[in-house]
Structure 1
Amino acid sequence: MLARDIMKKKVLSISPDHGVRHAARTMLQNQISGLPVCDDRGRLVGILSEGDLLRRAELGSVSWRDIAAVRTKPEAFIKGHSWRVGDLMTQPVVTVDEGMPVGRVAELMAAKGIKRTPVMRAEEMVGIVSRSDILRAIAASVPDVVAGGDEAVRRAVLARLCSDLGLEKGAIDVTIENGTVSLSGQVESEALWEAARVAAETINGAGGVRNKLRIVANRGDSDG
């Protein structure tokens, strides 16, 4: 699944010359928490979010009254008092390509601490992805589908344990007992023990998981 598959294609935007109050009303009326900012040619030049509006003079913020602070950081005064969106917007904008996998989009948003990101096709903004779009993708997802039969499920679980967790085939065994996946062998930590259970449960067709793995500390971690 790619960014283009989950993005909103109809994107409200605003001009850097629009007023801050107009921007706030637009966000409230459309129940959105941010607006891309585009110039007269439609080029993306910034983004205005709720966070950009938290230190406004209208809210009674007193930080701008500290003359020493204003002299050292006049940008704070500008953001607190300017009526122009262009003076408050965040730039440069974190964007993603329309062909970026959704998982990578989510990782980028988490790393940057942002709630939305414009989706680009070369220099053109073609959509926007928000956290709610990521949540919808999760809600609509289904477990991996494998061929029917115990042996197919067993092979799929074993492959997942080795490919996703890096477990060695010789250290683990997967069997099917009355439709339930049974894991045996050993792992190096409680976290890997839990991860093995989760990995097995992601395979469609696994009716349940019985985790018999033993936790054996890596000898390289012992004292001496």
Structure 2
Amino acid sequence: MVKSFQGVREAPIKPSNQPILVSDYMSTNLVTFRPEDSIDFVIRMLTRKRISGAPVVDETGKLVGMISEGDCLKEIIKGQYTNTPKFPAAVAEHMTKDVRTLPPDISIFDAADRFLTLKIRRFPVVKDGNLIGQISVSDIVRAIPKLKASTW
């Protein structure tokens, strides 16, 4: 009697049509600020929109920095010492200028790793030098339950 053995077969790799890229989960309707905006204006907008920070863009829309609640605290402390209830300093004086960005075509898992490694709460998403969106830790956390376990 002859037995046939075909050996171990590799299962064909099935392309995932499941969205797992930063571009699939990033926010695109962004609040942005200009370098010449006042910290007073930023504080009002962050409070009104219930966000903790936003990109800063120049007149052409190019990303030039990020401003956060923490950056605003510097001007608030300065206002306490000068007994100034308004915060007239410009965003350019307090924003983070060396901004870490992400491209839209990396996976949310790679983005999650960068969030943990760099201890950053949000990344602007930039393509060809242009700001196209922003992704936050919350965006990644909200994306995970939507993924199918078999296609990770």
TM range (shorter): 0.7 to 0.9
Identity across the alignment (%): 30
Q: Confirm or deny that 1:104 pairs with 2:123.
A: no
Greater relative contact order (Cα < 8 A, sep 6+): 2
CA contact (8 A) 2:40 2:88 kept: no
Q: Distance in 2 between matches of 1:93 and 1:109?
A: 13
| Shift >6 Å, 4+ stretches | none
Q: Which has the higher strand share?
A: 1
Tell me the amino acid that sits aligned with residue 50 of structure 2.
Q
Larger Rg: 1
Unaligned runs of 5+ in 1: 65-80, 146-201, 203-224
Tell me the amino acid that sits aligned with residue 30 of structure 1.
K
Q: Which has the higher helix share?
A: 1
With structure 2 as the length reference, what TM-score do the two structures score?
A: 0.77
| Corresponding residue SS for 1:60 | helix
With structure 1 as the length reference, what TM-score do the two structures score?
A: 0.53
Aligned to 1:48: 67
Count of residues in correspondence between the two structures: 128
CA RMSD of aligned residues (A): 2.1
Q: Confirm or deny that 1:60 pairs with 2:83.
A: no
Q: Distance in 2 between matches of 1:142 and 1:122?
A: 31
Q: Pick from 39, 47, 53: which aligns with 1:20? A: 39
Q: Confirm or deny that 1:6 pairs with 2:31.
A: no
| Corresponding residue SS for 1:107 | helix
Tell me the amino acid that sits aligned with residue 19 of structure 1.
S
Q: Confirm or deny that 1:85 pairs with 2:88.
A: no
- 1:82: how far off? 6.3
